[in-house]
Chain A
């Protein structure tokens, strides 16, 4: 057993390669692989940005230039108002859907999470298993009857099919997150309030919710991401252009002006920006949520 092998796992690496040449080489190798991988993962995103700033002529040069010859910032306003594109409207639709789904999800996932975590009643575990099982269900099995149903009630081409279901549970994963979090809140707090005659709703609102900042934030972030990125739902349920979301707008643009690469990249990049901003603010929370899903399930 050499010292260096042990240290790798214990976590104190000696960065002085002169004293431990073998370990120095090892660190160098790790950085080399990490660095190459980072380039592979980040370069495409960088490419999106630089392409969005190029002229149409510079796009069709081979081999391509990496950085634009001239930075054409007007690609962004021009792409935004290009011909029949209604980006402002599509942004509003996306925001409206995102906001409603977030409200619906937070309300209903909190209620359900509390019910599953803190009240014991017959049938609870069965319903919880059903909730978890629904995570694994291929969406297409319910798609067609839902489409037919929304068609019958006249909801097609409105935002309702995309928002109303969020008020009914808010997604299995979010319920699961809430439940796990609520289970960790000390019982004594709740029992004291119950003895004082407080109702469960009041307990949830006055004791649980104020303690649940992290899980509420994580749920909000995941929901924001999922709705902002969703393509399939809007594709199925929305038909007229003025009801499109950003994701539909981008493919619509691609369908009409396949060759307007800089505009397309500019609009795609605009769609990525909010996601990246949210990610940087909520990175720790999100990673914890992803991890929770992986370990507990």
Chain B
């Protein structure tokens, strides 16, 4: 056996766990799910082929479906940009060379590692309309109590606010990006007489676009799959104001055992996420600046 052959055999042996894993736990199930989306499948009986009916029902006669799409889109469309800006501002602050930065960095990052369940329980209580801490602060400041999860008008906005507590993860990535910008660029800019705002606009922002791009894509993908918040805190209410897409999918699959319908929903989500990601990638040529390495 020549060395090339041997490398091929050994290479595949080494990566065989993930090859098998992808086939068994990702690609296989994906294909199965695609097939199931064209069937009526109540779990205990065999799937029955019904063509496009799941999709037709989903798009035309299920009012909840569009509500779920709307809720998820609004949430992604607000929490992702706000989170990006919030994380960026915090990272800029931490990039100032003042004493005690380690303490602040830890404080901002810590909420991002708190188990989702624990932080939901906590925020449910903080945002309690009658006894919550936040309303206590508002009342002290002379502002009327906020309803948070108790009213349809405020429930989704409250979820967005809650999500901002976890911006630490994105912040850490931005901070690394900021610290990777060569000092010489700023010095050159200042020699040319640029003020701080100009330095920020013409050096910091362009150099950070790849990082912003990464956080944007990952943020959109994560937001489109929001589930636990609504499942634990609001059950999608009040009046379906927090009825997230994946909550509906979960109900179809596990409360109603409509495995076919749930699979159709999963594929539509994949399709939308794919389109969104492609659009972001396409647009990246316009705004993401990739440094050409010169050595």
- Are A and B bound to each other? yes
A interface residue numbers (CB < 8 A to B): 1, 5-6, 8-13, 15, 27, 30-31, 33-34, 37-38, 41-45, 47-48, 51, 59-64, 107-108, 111-112, 114-116, 119-124, 127, 130-131, 134, 136-149, 151, 165, 167-170, 175, 200, 225, 228-229, 231-232, 235-236, 247, 250-251, 254, 261, 264-265, 268-269, 271-272, 275-276, 279, 283, 287, 290-291, 293-295, 297
Specify which of B108, B121, B173, B217 is in contact with A268 (CB 8 Å cutoff): B121
Assuming A42-B107, A142-B33, A272-B118, is B8 touching A122 (CB within 8 A)? yes
Pairwise interchain contact A294-B8, C-beta atoms closer than 8 A? no
B273 close to chain A: CB less than 8 A: yes
Pairwise interchain contact A247-B15, C-beta atoms closer than 8 A? no
B277 close to chain A: CB less than 8 A: yes
Specify which of A107, A130, A141, A295 is in contact with B176 (CB 8 Å cutoff): A295
CB-defined contacts of B108 to chain A, threshold 8 Å: 37-38, 41
Pairwise interchain contact A169-B22, C-beta atoms closer than 8 A? yes
A2 CB, min distance to chain B CBs, angstroms: 10
B10 close to chain A: CB less than 8 A: yes
Assuming A64-B133, A112-B15, A138-B224, is B8 touching A121 (CB within 8 A)? yes
The 7 closest A-B pairs by CB, nearest first: A168-B21, A115-B14, A169-B18, A294-B173, A121-B11, A145-B32, A142-B29
Specify which of B11, B21, B122, B193 is in contact with A44 (CB 8 Å cutoff): B122
Interface centre among A41, A115, A250 (most CB of B within 10 A): A41
Pairwise interchain contact A279-B17, C-beta atoms closer than 8 A? no
Pairwise interchain contact B266-A138, C-beta atoms closer than 8 A? yes
Specify which of B119, B140, B227 is in contact with A232 (CB 8 Å cutoff): B227
Assuming A42-B110, A231-B116, is B172 touching A121 (CB within 8 A)? no
B76 CB, min distance to chain A CBs, angstroms: 13
CB-defined contacts of B19 to chain A, threshold 8 Å: 127
Q: How many angstroms between the C-alpha atoms of A272 and B192 in the bound complex? A: 51
Show 17 residue pairs from A and B whose CB-CB distance is below 8 angstroms, ordered by the A residue.
A8-B97, A31-B98, A41-B165, A44-B111, A51-B125, A112-B17, A121-B8, A124-B15, A138-B273, A147-B253, A148-B32, A228-B115, A250-B118, A250-B121, A268-B118, A271-B115, A294-B214
B196 close to chain A: CB less than 8 A: yes
Q: How many angstroms between the C-alpha atoms of A240 and B140 in the bound complex? A: 46
Specify which of A34, A147, A250 is in contact with B117 (CB 8 Å cutoff): A250
Assuming A145-B33, A250-B121, is B116 touching A229 (CB within 8 A)? yes
Pairwise interchain contact A119-B7, C-beta atoms closer than 8 A? yes
B215 close to chain A: CB less than 8 A: yes
CB-defined contacts of A60 to chain B, threshold 8 Å: 131
B71 close to chain A: CB less than 8 A: no
Mask for B102-120, Cβ within 8 A of A = 1, else 0?
0110111111011111110
B144 close to chain A: CB less than 8 A: no
Specify which of A8, A41, A169, A283 is in contact with B21 (CB 8 Å cutoff): A169
CB within 8 Å of A: which B115-137 residues: 115-119, 121-123, 125-126, 130-133, 136
CB-defined contacts of A147 to chain B, threshold 8 Å: 253, 259
Q: How many angstroms between the C-alpha atoms of A37 and B101 in the bound complex? A: 13
B289 close to chain A: CB less than 8 A: no
CB-defined contacts of B110 to chain A, threshold 8 Å: 41-42, 45, 276, 279
A207 CB, min distance to chain B CBs, angstroms: 15
Q: How many angstroms between the C-alpha atoms of A199 and B70 in the bound complex? A: 57
CB-defined contacts of A151 to chain B, threshold 8 Å: 43
CB-defined contacts of B97 to chain A, threshold 8 Å: 8, 11-13
A151 CB, min distance to chain B CBs, angstroms: 7
Pairwise interchain contact A134-B11, C-beta atoms closer than 8 A? no
Pairwise interchain contact B249-A140, C-beta atoms closer than 8 A? yes
Specify which of A27, A44, A61, A295 is in contact with B126 (CB 8 Å cutoff): A44
Q: Give the interface residue-count category, chain B.
A: 35 or more
Instruction: Name B25's closest neighbour in chain A (CB-CB).
Output: A165
B247 CB, min distance to chain A CBs, angstroms: 11
Specify which of B20, B32, B122, B211 is in contact with A295 (CB 8 Å cutoff): B211
CB-defined contacts of A295 to chain B, threshold 8 Å: 173, 176-177, 180, 211
Pairwise interchain contact B107-A38, C-beta atoms closer than 8 A? yes
Pairwise interchain contact B118-A38, C-beta atoms closer than 8 A? no
Pairwise interchain contact B18-A5, C-beta atoms closer than 8 A? no
Pairwise interchain contact A271-B177, C-beta atoms closer than 8 A? no
A257 CB, min distance to chain B CBs, angstroms: 12
Q: How many angstroms between the C-alpha atoms of A199 and B284 in the bound complex? A: 45
Assuming A64-B136, A112-B14, A290-B173, is B122 touching A138 (CB within 8 A)? no
Specify which of B104, B115, B211, B266 is in contact with A143 (CB 8 Å cutoff): B266
CB-defined contacts of B99 to chain A, threshold 8 Å: 15
Q: How many angstroms between the C-alpha atoms of A265 and B139 in the bound complex? A: 24
Pairwise interchain contact B7-A121, C-beta atoms closer than 8 A? yes
Q: How many angstroms between the C-alpha atoms of A170 and B29 in the bound complex? A: 18
Assuming A122-B8, A283-B106, is B221 touching A254 (CB within 8 A)? no
CB-defined contacts of B246 to chain A, threshold 8 Å: 140
